[in-house]
Structure 1
């Protein structure tokens, strides 16, 4: 089953997506997500100029060999651009093999160990009343777990909070300039969680994203202040590059810790997992080398009692979400899966068999990943350059966004 064609499609049905399409000589087509928000064209060029020519005439069934060939063979390893490109190839090959075998990918991975994948939604508000209303709407939709983000009084903008409609941080031909103050945040965050618990009790899992903004000591203080509210997790409390920082946080608080959406390989999270400094690993199928490599990360995490909580925002396409669901369904140490609705227009380009019911998603039993990609429809949505914001402290210095 030789690969006869590999092509890259960049489209923007509501937001930018990079899709890799691989076709075999006998007409089987597989698709993979290669989206890197704000740096989409870098991955598209890497695939188009360097990877796609190497795929022609390779056996599509040799998934692991192709992964090793692209990772080790390039010499320049890791990094978000390289690993996102490899991930797209990996997803597309799993899709091809599943379609060829007439089986969904989760069957190829050993079969389901659960009936569905618990997901969490994103609730936010410009004030506590608005947050409570949005949180209630998510509960009414059937979510068993909800992330809570609220505008911080005294700041013009807050990560994770939309002033109207769905939250979309990327936008404009230049990055937006957000302003940040750690003191205001640390004082407000416990009040936010107290409001949610007072209104909803403990019947819904409660999550919160710090988004890499604190020092280890500040994160430790936050974790302690949130302990009364039985958090499912606090996410990305400090910049993720410094793995040893999490030792300080772990020793100071019992609030569960989740991290990893910016990680690209097993080496980025090795110390965090083996030292048990985190409770959930959030690496994503698109940015951590695809199903093949993410499965290795999850297997390492299983040995140390760390559960999965994969990144799954709307800036990853429905292909990525489907691939994540197939893997989630099969790993014993699954914890939770992030879910955001894709923008209007995406359904014209991506048709998926995944279904949401009673707080759980299932990828469906269609062969392969269960996603159909319409290239003609994608052509109607040209690329639209957008950037994620840049964060600055009150004194004007750049801070982690």
Structure 2
């Protein structure tokens, strides 16, 4: 069975998504997510100009060979643009293969290891009353676990806390003060625990903002509140930085949403410096690569917690849910849903019920792309925010 046609579809039903559509000489169509938030057109061009010409006429069943060819054959390896493009091809080929088998994709990954996939939702507030309302809203939606983000006194715009629209052009500029954050956050979690009790799994995302020493202090200060995990406590390009954090706190650590290959994790996994790996299928080279990552992590007792906000398209989310259902060392799945218009463009796929996801029993990924609906939502240039300290210098966002 050969690939005879490929199309790269860029659409914006509430936000920008990049989808690769592969078609075979047997009339089957496979979909892959290539969305790279804020740099979507870079991946679309990489696919259209460099990858698609290599795919026409190739064996649609040769998933591993195609993956290695795209990774090794370009010479310039790794990086988010390359790995998102490879991911789209890989997922589309797995979608096709599962359709040929007449099975949902998770069956080709070893079958179900669980009945359903537990998720966590996002709660945030500029102050405690607003935060408590947000947590109650996530619980009412059925989420069994909640990520807690909070405003910080003296800071106007903070990551993941809703603020009024800025009057400036994009990207939005947020502000930051690590000392103020470190003073404020433990009291927030004390208040949350007092309000919601000891049983609710709580998560928090630092978003790479702290030095290793600051991250170690934060982990130690949050230990009394029994977090499910503390995420991205420090920029982890220097993997050895997590040794200092691990030495000073027992709080579970999750990291990796900006990682692109297993090499970014090598020290973290083999030295057991983290507890959860966070890379999404969409940015890590697809199902083939993430499955290998999770198999390596399992050897060291490390679980999955795949990145899954709204900038992972319904195609990428479906791929993650199939993996989540199949792998033994599943931990939890981030899930925030998508803008309502996305359901017009991406049809079918997983279901979300009582805080849990299931990929369904349709052959393949279970997602179809409505090209007419996609055309009604053209691409809109958008950027992620940037983060600055009080002196104006750029800090990690």
How far, CA to CA, are the matches of 1:224 and 1:373 in structure 2? Answer: 47
How far, CA to CA, are the matches of 2:127 and 2:201 in structure 1? Answer: 21
Is 1:367 matched with 2:360?
Answer: no
SS of alignment partner, residue 159 of structure 1? coil
Structure 1 segments of 4+ aligned residues over 4 angstroms from their partners: none
- Equivalent residue in structure 1 for 2:252, among 249, 256, 264: 256
Deviation at 1:290, TM superposition (A): 0.2
Partner of 1:98: 98
Greater Cα offset, 194-203 or 253-262: 194-203
How far, CA to CA, are the matches of 2:126 and 2:344 in structure 1? Answer: 31
Partner of 2:67: 67
Partner of 1:323: 319
Query: Are the counterparts in 2 of residues 119 and 361 from structure 1 also a CA contact under 8 Å?
Result: yes
Q: Map residues 130-209 of structure 1 onto 2, 5 A cutoff.
A: 130-163=130-163, 174-209=170-205
Deviation at 1:179, TM superposition (A): 1.1
- Equivalent residue in structure 2 for 1:336, among 332, 336, 339: 332
SS of alignment partner, residue 286 of structure 1? helix
Partner of 1:287: 283
Deviation at 1:163, TM superposition (A): 3.0
Deviation at 1:72, TM superposition (A): 0.8
Greater Cα offset, 172-181 or 292-301: 172-181
SS of alignment partner, residue 78 of structure 1? coil
- The runs of 5 or more residues in structure 2 that have no matched partner are none
Greater Cα offset, 213-222 or 352-361: 352-361
Partner of 2:242: 246
Output one character per residue of 1:264-322: Cα deviation in whole Å (capped at 9) or x when no partner: 00001111000000010101100000000000110110001111100001011000110
Deviation at 1:360, TM superposition (A): 1.6
Deviation at 1:25, TM superposition (A): 1.1
- The runs of 5 or more residues in structure 1 that have no matched partner are none
SS of alignment partner, residue 30 of structure 2? strand
Alignment TM-score, normalising by the size of structure 2: 0.98
Q: Map residues 366-385 of structure 1 onto 2, 5 A cutoff.
A: 366-385=362-381
- Equivalent residue in structure 1 for 2:351, among 332, 350, 355: 355
Partner of 1:301: 297
SS of alignment partner, residue 329 of structure 1? helix
Partner of 1:8: 8
Partner of 2:232: 236
How far, CA to CA, are the matches of 2:78 and 2:250 in structure 1? Answer: 32
1:173 to 1:90, Cα distance in 2 relative to 1, 3 A: farther
How far, CA to CA, are the matches of 1:378 and 1:172 in structure 2? Answer: 29
SS of alignment partner, residue 281 of structure 2? coil
- Equivalent residue in structure 2 for 1:311, among 299, 307, 316: 307
User: What do you get for the CA RMSD once the two structures are aligned?
Assistant: 1.4
How far, CA to CA, are the matches of 2:206 and 2:123 in structure 1? Answer: 14
Say how many residue pairs are matched: 397
How far, CA to CA, are the matches of 1:126 and 1:346 in structure 2? Answer: 28
Deviation at 1:172, TM superposition (A): 7.9
1:389 to 1:201, Cα distance in 2 relative to 1, 3 A: same
Deviation at 1:344, TM superposition (A): 2.3
Alignment TM-score, normalising by the size of structure 1: 0.97
Deviation at 1:173, TM superposition (A): 5.6
How far, CA to CA, are the matches of 1:353 and 1:281 in structure 2? Answer: 24
Deviation at 1:10, TM superposition (A): 0.5
Greater Cα offset, 155-164 or 105-114: 155-164
SS of alignment partner, residue 15 of structure 2? coil
Query: Are the counterparts in 2 of residues 126 and 150 from structure 1 also a CA contact under 8 Å?
Result: yes
